Amino acid sequence: MDFLYFKKKFMQRCIAKNLTDNTLRGYEEFFRSFEKYLISIRKTKNFEEVTASDLRGYFIEAGKTMKGITQVGYHRRLTTFYNFLVSDALLTDNLMKRVERPKAGKRIIQSFSSTEVHTMLNAYDVDTFIGRRNYTLLCLLLATGLRRSEFLSLNVEDVHLQDDFIQVIGKGDKERIIPITKGLTQIIRKYLKARKDFLKTHAQDTNAFIINRYGKRLKISGSNSIFRKLRIDYKLTGKRFSAHIWRHTFAKAFLLNGGDVFTLQELLGHEDVETTKEYVTLTDTDKALQNARYNPLDNRKWEYY
């Protein structure tokens, strides 16, 4: 049977599960790569004839042009695909149980330096609405580590200032509660007042928390342009400037300030604590500072028993 038939059934399942647009795009990108390989081995029309050896061949070919971490992601998607096909009785043999996961080199997770953080937080004129919005967004990211998809989809009613928490829908459509500090609460209050005044002259029926210059929900392109302009205006180089690097910065700063990895896991919305650990790469300077702060020979706070 044609590969496209199986793909169609799987994508219908993904849409029925209400997976995010980003997740759907990720599967489509993977399927384009996988279908190209199936065409090369002449098994697009007879997908049921694909063997475990063929699947290993796919990852061998992918390894010639694809980073290890991307291969791991594609292995995960192919595993999900085959799990579905077997569970829905479209295939009887789950070949992916015999296909080993590719190895990925250890990623160096980037984060912003304290100098870069201060530079960006002081970049905006908060007397203007756009300046106030951008400043609030950066503070929100530094204080919560929200994903881009999470802050873009955030609504005003999701921000509970009286009870000091934000309610977000994360990956897998999972809800989580993120506490916010008094400092962030005050920043958000000022932003909401500026937002209300701004919308008086930009009449839009929107409940979006982060809005653009037209009073509508900020989109991915608008978010990207904020960070691109910061990078260009302040000649900040050496790393990607994006919302995700702010997420890494939050995670690293949280741990360096004495937070524990299990609380951080809950705040970031990770299912596996190993994923949380990957978010933090300590430099030799970081390790030296932490050792000076917590080494038991020089710091006797542990002598409480």
Domain spanning 114-293 has what CATH number? 1.10.443.10
pTM for the whole thing? 0.70
Q: Comparing C-alpha atoms, which of 62, 132, 46, 50 is closest to residue 103?
A: 62
CA 93 to chain centre: 33
The predicted pLDDT at position 300 comes to 67
**Predicted confidence band at 173 (pLDDT cuts at 50, 70, 90)?**
confident
CA distances 84 to 7, 18, 37, 72, 160, Å, are 11, 16, 21, 19, 39
CA atoms within 13 A on the CB side of 284: 0
Q: Is 130 left (phi over 0), alpha (psi -120 to 50) or beta?
A: alpha
The predicted pLDDT at position 201 comes to 87
**Which range among 18-27, 66-75, 116-125, 169-178 has the greatest average pLDDT?**
116-125
The 3-state DSSP class for residue 208 equals strand
The 3-state DSSP class for residue 89 equals coil
Q: Comparing C-alpha atoms, which of 115, 88, 105, 108 is closest to residue 6?
A: 88
Q: Comparing C-alpha atoms, which of 242, 252, 254, 245 is closest to residue 280?
A: 252
Query: Domain residues of the chain, as ranges?
Result: 3-98, 114-293
Write out the CATH class of domain 3-98.
Answer: mainly alpha
Q: Comparing C-alpha atoms, which of 135, 134, 141 is closest to residue 251?
A: 141
The predicted pLDDT at position 303 comes to 62
User: What CA–CA distance (Å, rounded) separates 136 from 151?
Assistant: 11
- What is the largest distance, in Å, between two alpha-carbon atoms of the chain? 71
**pLDDT tens track for 202-214:** 877 689 999 999 9
Paired strand residues for 302: none
User: What CA–CA distance (Å, rounded) separates 138 from 144?
Assistant: 10
**Predicted confidence band at 287 (pLDDT cuts at 50, 70, 90)?**
confident
User: What CA–CA distance (Å, rounded) separates 260 from 254?
Assistant: 8
**Residues in contact with 234: Cβ distance below 8 Å, sequence separation at least 6, in sequence order:** 119, 120, 123
